[in-house]
Chains A and B, each alone.
Chain A
Amino acid sequence: DGGITQSPKYLFRKEGQNVTLSCEQNLNHDAMYWYRQDPGQGLRLIYYSQIVNDFQKGDIAEGYSVSREKKESFPLTVTSAQKNPTAFYLCASRSGTGDEQYFGPGTRLTVT
């Protein structure tokens, strides 16, 4: 089956630790995106990549980092610099201009 996978579904970390969230797609899509979802705030864009080895900051990139070494993979690292990392993180991919984004199932990160 084609789709987007995110792992793990639930992730717990102590404050001060970096953590990496996985996002893999087998849809052969060029563009990939990371969003953060908080209650009552909709989804906010963290980073996006339109092609391998290239990525751009979204609206709330501070405290996050990404890499795009392979077309299929777009991992997100939540660093200790992120002030409020506890949230639901969603990865998405898109084929071309005007096409919809396809979303993964999400990772719920809890930092205590």
Chain B
Amino acid sequence: AQSVTQLDSQVPVFEEAPVELRCNYSSSVSVYLFWYVQYPNQGLQLLLKYLSGSTLVKSINGFEAEFNKSQTSFHLRKPSVHISDTAEYFCAVSEGNTGKLIFGQGTTLQVKP
């Protein structure tokens, strides 16, 4: 069965510092990978996704993630965070044709001034 592990439950960081949120998955087949962001008491918003092709994917607000098949990882990075990036971030893998998403436990990014 597929699974997703987000290694850090909370990541505190100062504003304008770089950040990496780690995500590892287990799967024996090709996967689609996603990062979602959730602000308090709201639904999830897609941040970026990897389906195929270039292993480095980028979002419009400065986040990027790299698919590493050999390490089964899809870590999320941003070179300089803002206070507004404070939120919970979820990594997810899509399961076959059903499109079911298997989620990690989430990482709370806390950006401090």
Chain A residues engaging chain B, CB cutoff 8 angstroms: 4, 6, 31, 33, 35, 40-45, 48, 50, 56, 58, 88, 90, 92, 94, 97-106, 108
Chain B residues engaging chain A, CB cutoff 8 angstroms: 9, 32, 34, 36, 41-46, 49, 51, 90, 94, 97-101, 103-106
Q: Given the known A-B contacts A100-B34, A103-B44, A103-B45, are A58 and B106 also in contact in the complex, defined by CB atoms under 8 Å?
A: no
Q: How far is the CA of A58 from the CA of B42 in the complex (A)?
A: 22
Residue of B32, B41, B46 touching A98 (CB-CB under 8 A) = B32
Q: Given the known A-B contacts A40-B9, A42-B90, A106-B41, are A100 and B103 also in contact in the complex, defined by CB atoms under 8 Å?
A: no
Min CB gap A95→B, angstroms: 9
Q: A31-B98, A43-B90, A94-B99 are in contact. List 7 more A-B contacts (CB 8 A).
A: A43-B44, A88-B41, A98-B32, A100-B34, A101-B101, A105-B42, A106-B43
Nearest-neighbor residue (CB-CB) of A39 within chain B: B106
Residue of B44, B103, B105 touching A40 (CB-CB under 8 A) = B105
Q: How far is the CA of A42 from the CA of B97 in the complex (A)?
A: 22
| Contact partners of B46 in chain A: CB under 8 A | 100, 102
Q: How far is the CA of A98 from the CA of B46 in the complex (A)?
A: 13
Q: How far is the CA of A4 from the CA of B44 in the complex (A)?
A: 12
Min CB gap A8→B, angstroms: 13
Contact of B43 with A104 in the complex, beta carbons under 8 Å: yes
Contact of B43 with A101 in the complex, beta carbons under 8 Å: no
Min CB gap B34→A, angstroms: 6
Contact of A42 with B94 in the complex, beta carbons under 8 Å: no
Min CB gap B59→A, angstroms: 12
Contact of A42 with B99 in the complex, beta carbons under 8 Å: no
| Contact partners of A33 in chain B: CB under 8 A | 99-101
Q: Given the known A-B contacts A90-B43, A105-B42, A105-B43, are A97 and B99 also in contact in the complex, defined by CB atoms under 8 Å?
A: yes
Contact of A90 with B101 in the complex, beta carbons under 8 Å: no
Residue of B34, B43, B101, B105 touching A45 (CB-CB under 8 A) = B101
Q: How far is the CA of A55 from the CA of B94 in the complex (A)?
A: 18
